[in-house]
Each structure stands twice: as structure tokens, then as C-alpha cells.
């Protein structure tokens, strides 16, 4: 299921990176399926028994480009083929921007609104140019990690403060342990990039080395992490604003929802555009924190680095190992987003792996410098957590008691906290892409939107984060316990997976790398267990419950897709050669063909067989629409078109049904790019090329609009034809199964319903209800697909 999987693993040498290409929605056939398709084609040859010419002699020119006279007007005006479709290779057309614009008024309005907000659509070929250079990738992919220093140290101090003011001195050794964890995990992810250069980080590492179940567990943890990243970042940013402007506190939740919508719109504009928008605030925040630390340490140096006594804090708990571990796990939230770069290696410009590792090194270095600097400054200035003001806000007020610096630094902090969610808007859709590629998530998450962004994944992330923000009323301290569990579940599994990886591969220095990953797995495992147990009743139970739920949903989705794949696999025995295709009625080939058509005789007149010459009253001549006045079978002249997405059993049954009518048949395939078009033509040749095929390359990845306009253009070239469109459609048993499949047949029927002379019929294939089995009943992903 999904596009052909690349070879995973394979050492630490630089490897080519597979791009997340637009044709991933149209997975290629496996070797076994191609063999079955070839056998099916042989049976088709027997069934047709030499009558292929009858089916391939078309009454119209499928290329739409060789008219000797203009065709009849259509509902969208007088059709000019060059305006909507450009000829390319033989039997191939390329849809132009007007061809992908819906005809309906609401559709045009929504399209114009979307383009006004998001910008004009990008072609599939532009995916290469949307990749980021290092200076843009650093702020885009590290905004989550770097911004976490605004609340990570405070989360650690909040736990230590439970034991009173005297325990605040433990912040230094706990912070030192956290720095070790940051460096170990950062170096480990730096090793993951060359070993797994195709992205998806923890999910791919765990799946490859620990099995698909633990891989899906890592994916579930990462999904929760990304959703919480958006909710926590937005909540923290709004809290920074309300700390400086307390009268805005009642509007915290609505402000957070507006921020999520703005982030969604910015990221839907595409990776490169979003990077240019969100890069400056991240660099501004880094400069602001560095200035704060340098000035604060300089002031401390003036008094001989003597720590200021913190305010008295009453102790509510005794100091102990459990409390220290809890502070360690709370402070570890400063590492959220550390896996973002390893997940998005294909988003870098070549050489992707090298640029990814360099950017990751910069990111970890900045994190350690800012985290250590803030911890030292908090210790030296005697700052303690307060309910009405963040620790960072207190530091800025003490360091810059006058002047504009407080407003500037708080503004930069609020901005980076809000934009830190941008990292999740890059990581979450890419993770869903890989999960959907393996069949554990709906295939709609494979789709690239108008701006070459995974728009469906981004919308799902925004909706989930908004629900979480409203449910917790924007309280950051309530969300952080959930935060640590999800992120460190994925980190622990990725570290453990790399231990297995080095034991299997045993490349240069593999023992050193193995022990490094083992240390990272142990430390992150401590954080995971501590957060899950100590914060269970405070909200961490949500993650503990949500992870198995997501895993169960993933396995059910995969089981359904496995059932569908088995049902749709080509089967040569289902083409019965004992019932040959009969020729069409006598004289079908002598009927008029369009002027200049490649096949069929030249017309002697433009009249319909059995109809009087000249327009009849009420036949639509004035409106440009063909009247539907057929009363007898002799007046109906069929031409059958079958849209084919993938050569599986559903498509073959639709083609067989169309051929059984005994009229000329044209197959049409919509491809998002030239590579997919060439791949489908090879599959068509493997089947046997029994029917005429026209490929339409839709570089803007639209399907319904260009297909509907092409079908109307075919009918406009010969209005006397009754164009019969045969649609293959998968019929499922459960309502939620419909969410896992394309709704293109329904949308195409709606688009063609108002067009005279076009008849739409559906050839259903019913998918049986899969048997209820355990996870062992789901097959592992086929590495050849």
C-alpha cells in the first residue's frame, strides 16, 4: 500500500533522498500485480477475438486539438482547446490553469478566495523548488525546540519549589543532567539522518528495527506531541501577552484560536513561503534571549556572581528522588521538537542529509546555550515561579527595569511561542504522509494541496489543537504533563530502535554509536516513566489512553485497506473468454466522424442520423446546449469514456462493462505529473493496450474539474453523440470506511449532472466486511511497494 518504499537503513553513507512527490496518491503496482495484469490482458485478447479495431475507432478526436471548424458552444462558452488543454506527448494533454477552475459560481468564488489567501496554485514540478536552504530551515524546523526554553526551565522550577526555597539550588545539577540528555539525543538524531535519509524519524526507525506495532506506537506519540506542540505553544504565547497586558486575560482562548487559524493559513501557503514568513521571529527571539543572558550575567559579574536570595516559598512536599525525577522530566519539555529536522530531511536542498545534519547541530548548540544561560540567570537573580507572571518575564523586568527592552523581549517571546507551532505544521503532515503510505491512516493525507503542502494533515492538526486548547482553557501548566509523555515515548522508541540498528548493521564505530543511543534510550525512558506515572492523574492519563486508541484505529484502517487490496487485485479468471465481445450494430463506423479526426470517415453532413437537418424549435440552438429529444433507440449514438485511476479489478470491471456495450471506448487517466503518466502508460502496455488511452496531466493535481471539462469538450466536438461515462466505484459496508476512500466518483457525477448529452453510470465493486482479527491478522507493509 502506498508508493514504492525505499530501502530503509543501510549504514551512514550519504544516500539519495526520496521526495514526497505528488504521485504518491497513485501507488504503482507490485511485481505480483503486474504479473496478474499481464495474464488478465491475455484473457482480454481472447475475449475480444480480433475486434479491437471496432472498439478503438473513435468518432471523436481524443486529442481535442485538430478541429477544422469550431465545435458547438458549451456551458462555459465557445470551447477553444488550447485555452484549457495543451497537447504534449502522443495521446497526452496537459491541463492549463483555466481547466482546473470549477464552473459553478460557488466553486469559482471559493477558488478565488482560496487563491487570494493562499496564493496561486503551484505545479507539481515546483516541488523541487519548494525545498529550504539551511538559514530558512533552521528557524522553521527549530522554532518549537528553541521556544521551549521559555517554559521548560519554569516547569522544572515549579516542581522543585514544592519542596521550598532551599530546594531551588538543585536546579543546577538537574539542568546539567538535562544538558547531557539534550546532547545525547541530539547526536543520536544526527546519526539517524544518514541512516534513514527519507524522513519520518522515530516512526521509520522504530518500524524498521522494532516492528510495525512499535513503529505505530512511536507515530501515535509523535502525533500527540505535534498536537500538543500547537496547543502549548499558542497557550504559552498568549500567556506571555497576558503577562504584559493583564486586561487581555479573559480573551486568552479566543486569541489562541485566532492564532491557530493564522498559523494554518500561513503554512497552507507552502513550505518556502511559510519559511520566509516565520524565519525572522525565530532569529529575533534567539537574539533577544542571548542579549538577556549576556546583560544579566554582566550584571551578576558586577556583584561577583553572588546569587540573590530567592523569596521565601513554603514547602508542601519533602525533597526526594521522586521529586527530583519529576523536576527532571518537567524540565525535559525544553526538548520538544528535537526530532523535527530528522523528520523533514527531504525538505532540504541538496545535499539533503548533510544540510540536515548541519542544521541539527546549529539547533542543538543554540538550545544548550540558551537553556544553560537562562538557568544560570534564574539562579543568580533568585527568581521563583509565580502564578501571575512567567519566570522569563520576571527575568526581563529585573534585567531591564527601564527602557523599551522589556516590551521588545516579551514581544519576541510571545511571537516565537505562537510561531513555535509552525514546526508541528511541518512535522505532523509529513508524519501522516508516511503513516498513510503504509496504510495506517486515510490516503487523503497523501495529497498535496494547491501550494504543494499537505493541506489535509495541516487542517487535521489545527482542528485537534483547537479542540485541546478549548478543552483546557489555554492553561499551559495543564497541558505540559501531556506534552512530555508523547514526545518522550517517540524519543525512547527511536533511541531503542537505533540500538537494534547498530547491532544489525555493525558499520564503522558501531559500538560507540550503540552505547550513545542506549544512554539516550535510558535517559529518555526515565523521563517517559516519570511523567506517565507522577502526572497520570493530572492529565497524563489522556496520552496513556490516546496512544492505544490511535494504534487501534491505525490497525483497523490498515485491515480495511488490506481487505480492499485483496478484493481489487487483478484476477485473470474473472475475464471469461467464453463470452466474446460482439460487434456494434451495422453501420456504426459509417456514421459521421468529426472533421480532421484521426480515425473514422469524413462526414458528409453535420446532421444526426435519423434527425432532420437544421435546428428544431426548442433544441437549444440559441443557448448553445444540445436538446435532449431522443425518442427512439435509433437516435441514440453511444461513445463510452472510462476514467481510470489505477489498473485494479475495479477499473478492469468498468472497462469490461464499457466494452460489453459494443461501442467505441476511450480510457482516460489523470496524472499529477509526467513521471506518473509514463508509469501508468507502462502499466497499460503491460495489460495489453486493448483500448485507446488518453492521459491528461493535471500539474495542479486537480481531478474533477479538468476531467469534467475534458468530457464536455469531447461531447462539444460531436454534440449528436450520447457520451456515456462509466465510473468504477468502491462500495464499502461501514460509514466510516467511506472516509478512507476518494469521493471523486460522487463529485464527478455532481459536476456532470447539469450537462446535457452526458450520461454517467457507475460500476460498483463491493468490499466485504473484514473479519475481526487481532493485530496479527494485518500483513506487514510489502517492501517492494
Look at residue 10 and tell me if it is in a domain. no
205 and 85 within one domain:
no
Quote the CA–CA distance of 266 and 276 in Å, as a whole number.
10
**Residue 59's domain is classified under what CATH number?**
3.40.50.620
Note the pLDDT of residue 715: 86
Note the pLDDT of residue 293: 92
255 and 112 within one domain:
no
Q: How many domains does the chain have?
A: 2
Look at residue 29 and tell me if it is in a domain. no
Residue of 416 and 632 predicted with greater confidence:
416
Q: Are 588 and 663 in contact (CB under 8 A)?
A: yes
Angle at 200 between CA 196 and CA 204, to 5 degrees: 60
Look at residue 414 and tell me if it is in a domain. yes
pLDDT at 63 over 80: yes
Look at residue 772 and tell me if it is in a domain. no
Q: Are 465 and 260 in contact (CB under 8 A)?
A: yes
Residue of 203 and 535 predicted with greater confidence:
203
Residue of 254 and 1 predicted with greater confidence:
254
Note the pLDDT of residue 693: 94
Cα of 589 vs its chain's centroid, Å: 48
Contacts of 680 (CB under 8 A, 6+ apart): 26, 647, 669, 671, 695
Residue of 182 and 122 predicted with greater confidence:
182
Residue of 572 and 430 predicted with greater confidence:
430
Look at residue 339 and tell me if it is in a domain. yes
Place of cell 494485518: 778
Note the pLDDT of residue 69: 43
| pLDDT digits 0-9 by tens, 335-368 | 878 888 888 888 888 888 889 899 999 999 999 9
Look at residue 562 and tell me if it is in a domain. no
296 and 211 within one domain:
yes
Look at residue 87 and tell me if it is in a domain. yes
Average pLDDT over residues 420-444: 88
Least confident of 218-232, 409-423, 531-545, 612-626: 612-626
pLDDT at 18 over 50: no
Could you give the percent of the chain with pLDDT greater than 70? 83
Least confident of 487-491, 543-547, 770-774: 770-774
**Residue 145's domain is classified under what CATH number?**
1.20.1740.10
Between the alpha carbon of residue 128 and those of residues 121, 122, 391, 436, 697, the distances in Å are 15, 11, 43, 22, 18
pLDDT at 783 over 50: no
Note the pLDDT of residue 770: 62
Least confident of 17-21, 175-179, 202-206, 767-771: 17-21
Q: Are 722 and 759 in contact (CB under 8 A)?
A: yes
249 and 179 within one domain:
yes
Average pLDDT over residues 394-423: 84
Of 508, 534, 560, the position where a domain reaches its end is 534
Place of cell 464552473: 103
pLDDT at 125 over 90: no
Note the pLDDT of residue 59: 85
698 and 670 within one domain:
yes
460 and 596 within one domain:
no
Cα of 410 vs its chain's centroid, Å: 34
301 and 255 within one domain:
yes
428 and 334 within one domain:
yes
114 and 166 within one domain:
no
Range of 290's domain?
131-534
636 and 505 within one domain:
no
Quote the CA–CA distance of 357 and 675 in Å, as a whole number.
30
Note the pLDDT of residue 778: 56
pLDDT at 666 over 90: yes
Note the pLDDT of residue 32: 84
| pLDDT digits 0-9 by tens, 596-654 | 444 433 333 333 333 333 333 334 433 344 556 777 777 778 789 999 998 888 999 99
641 and 757 within one domain:
yes
Note the pLDDT of residue 586: 45
185 and 51 within one domain:
no
pLDDT at 445 over 70: yes
Q: Which of 713, 709, 708, 699 is nearest to 746 (CA)?
A: 708
Note the pLDDT of residue 606: 34
Q: Extract the C-alpha cell encoding 25.
A: 496518491
Note the pLDDT of residue 175: 92
Q: Are 93 and 669 in contact (CB under 8 A)?
A: no
DSSP states of 496-512:
HHHHHHHHHH--TTHHH
Average pLDDT over residues 189-212: 85
Q: Extract the C-alpha cell encoding 116.
A: 487570494
Q: How confident is the model at residue 481 (pLDDT cuts 50, 70, 90)?
A: low
Which pTM was predicted?
Answer: 0.80
Look at residue 777 and tell me if it is in a domain. no
| pLDDT digits 0-9 by tens, 736-750 | 888 888 888 888 988
Average pLDDT over residues 566-576: 68
Amino acid at each position: 500500500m502506498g508508493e514504492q518504499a525505499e530501502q530503509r537503513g543501510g549504514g551512514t553513507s550519504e544516500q539519495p533522498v526520496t521526495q514526497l512527490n505528488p504521485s504518491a496518491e497513485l501507488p504503482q503496482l507490485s511485481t505480483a500485480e503486474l504479473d496478474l495484469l499481464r495474464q488478465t490482458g491475455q484473457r482480454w485478447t481472447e475475449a475480444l477475438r480480433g475486434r479491437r479495431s471496432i472498439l478503438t475507432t473513435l468518432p471523436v478526436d481524443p486529442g481535442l486539438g485538430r478541429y477544422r471548424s469550431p465545435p458547438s458552444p458549451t456551458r462555459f462558452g465557445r470551447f477553444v482547446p488550447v485555452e484549457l488543454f495543451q497537447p504534449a506527448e502522443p495521446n497526452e494533454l496537459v491541463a492549463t490553469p483555466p481547466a482546473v477552475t470549477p464552473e459553478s459560481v460557488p466553486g469559482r468564488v471559493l477558488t478565488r478566495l482560496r487563491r487570494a489567501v493562499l496564493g496561486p496554485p503551484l505545479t507539481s514540478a515546483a516541488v523541487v523548488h519548494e525545498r529550504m536552504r539551511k538559514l530558512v530551515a533552521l528557524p522553521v524546523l527549530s522554532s518549537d525546540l528553541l521556544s521551549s526554553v521559555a517554559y521548560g526551565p519554569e516547569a522544572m522550577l515549579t516542581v522543585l519549589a514544592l519542596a521550598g526555597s532551599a530546594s531551588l539550588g538543585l536546579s543546577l545539577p538537574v539542568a546539567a543532567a538535562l544538558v547531557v540528555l539534550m546532547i545525547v539525543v541530539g547526536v543520536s538524531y544526527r546519526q539517524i539522518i544518514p541512516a534513514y535519509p527519507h524522513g519520518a524519524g522515530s516512526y521509520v526507525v522504530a518500524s524498521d528495527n522494532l516492528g510495525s506495532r512499535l513503529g505505530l506506537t512511536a507515530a501515535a506519540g509523535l502525533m500527540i506531541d505535534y498536537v500538543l506542540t500547537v496547543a502549548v505553544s499558542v497557550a504559552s504565547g498568549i500567556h506571555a501577552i497576558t503577562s504584559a497586558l493583564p486586561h487581555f486575560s479573559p480573551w486568552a482562548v479566543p486569541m489562541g484560536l485566532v492564532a491557530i487559524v493564522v498559523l494554518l493559513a500561513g503554512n497552507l501557503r507552502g513550505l518556502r513561503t511559510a519559511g520566509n514568513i516565520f524565519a525572522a521571529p525565530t532569529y529575533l527571539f534567539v537574539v533577544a534571549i542571548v542579549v538577556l543572558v549576556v546583560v544579566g550575567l554582566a550584571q551578576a559579574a558586577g556583584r561577583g556572581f553572588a546569587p540573590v536570595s530567592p523569596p521565601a516559598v513554603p514547602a508542601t512536599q519533602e525533597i526526594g528522588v521522586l521529586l527530583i525525577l519529576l523536576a527532571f522530566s518537567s524540565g525535559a519539555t525544553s526538548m520538544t521538537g528535537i526530532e523535527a529536522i530528522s523528520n523533514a530531511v527531504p525538505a532540504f536542498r541538496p545535499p539533503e542529509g548533510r544540510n540536515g545534519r548541519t542544521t541539527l547541530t546549529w539547533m542543538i548548540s543554540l538550545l544548550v546555550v540558551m537553556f544553560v544561560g537562562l538557568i544560570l540567570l534564574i539562579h543568580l537573580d533568585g527568581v521563583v515561579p509565580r502564578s501571575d507572571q512567567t519566570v522569563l518575564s520576571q527575568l526581563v523586568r529585573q534585567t531591564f527595569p527601564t527602557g523599551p527592552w522589556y516590551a521588545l523581549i516579551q514581544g519576541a517571546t510571545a511571537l516565537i511561542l505562537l510561531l513555535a507551532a509552525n514546526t508541528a505544521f511541518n512535522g505532523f503532515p509529513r508524519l501522516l504522509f508516511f503513516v498513510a503510505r503504509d496504510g495506517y491512516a486515510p490516503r487523503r493525507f497523501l495529497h498535496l494541496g494547491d501550494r504543494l503542502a499537505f493541506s489535509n494533515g495541516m487542517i487535521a492538526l489545527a482542528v485537534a489543537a483547537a479542540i485541546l486548547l478549548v478543552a483546557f482553557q489555554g492553561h499551559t501548566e495543564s497541558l505540559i504533563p501531556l506534552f512530555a509523555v508523547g514526545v518522550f515515548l517517540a524519543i525512547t522508541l527511536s533511541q531503542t530502535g537505533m540500538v537494534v540498528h547498530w547491532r544489525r548493521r555493525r558499520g564503522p564505530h558501531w559500538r560507540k554509536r550503540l552505547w550513545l543511543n542506549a544512554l539516550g534510550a535510558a535517559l529518555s525512558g526515565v523521563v517517559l516513566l516519570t511523567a506517565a506515572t507522577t502526572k497520570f492523574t493530572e492529565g497524563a492519563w489522556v496520552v496513556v489512553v490516546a496512544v492505544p486508541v490511535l494504534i487501534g484505529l491505525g490497525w483497523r484502517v490498515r485491515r480495511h485497506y488490506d481487505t480492499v487490496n485483496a478484493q481489487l487485485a487483478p484476477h485473470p479468471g474473472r475475464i471469461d473468454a467464453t463470452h466474446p465481445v460482439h460487434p456494434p450494430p451495422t453501420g456504426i463506423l459509417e456514421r459521421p466522424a468529426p472533421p480532421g479526426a484521426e480515425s473514422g470517415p469524413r462526414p458528409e453532413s453535420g446532421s444526426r442520423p435519423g434527425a432532420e437537418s437544421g435546428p428544431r424549435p426548442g433544441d437549444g440552438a440559441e443557448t448553445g446546449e444540445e436538446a435532449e429529444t431522443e425518442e427512439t433507440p435509433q437516435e441514440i449514438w453511444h461513445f463510452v469514456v472510462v476514467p481510470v485511476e489505477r489498473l485494479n479489478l475495479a477499473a478492469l470491471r468498468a472497462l469490461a462493462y464499457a466494452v460489453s456495450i459494443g461501442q467505441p471506448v476511450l480510457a482516460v487517466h489523470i496524472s499529477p505529473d509526467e513521471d506518473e503518466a509514463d508509469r501508468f502508460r507502462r502499466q497499460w502496455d503491460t495489460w495489453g493496450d486493448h483500448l485507446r488511452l488518453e492521459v491528461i496531466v493535471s500539474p495542479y493535481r486537480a481531478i474533477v474539474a479538468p476531467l469534467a471539462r475534458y468530457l464536455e469538450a469531447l461531447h462539444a466536438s460531436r454534440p449528436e453523440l450520447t457520451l456515456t461515462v462509466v465510473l468504477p466505484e468502491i462500495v464499502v459496508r461501514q460509514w466510516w470506511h467511506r472516509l478512507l476512500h476518494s469521493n471523486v466518483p460522487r463529485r464527478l457525477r455532481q459536476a456532470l449532472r447539469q450537462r446535457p448529452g452526458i450520461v454517467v453510470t457507475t460500476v460498483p465493486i463491493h468490499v466485504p466486511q473484514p473479519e475481526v482479527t487481532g493485530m496479527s491478522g494485518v500483513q506487514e507493509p510489502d517492501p517492494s511497494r
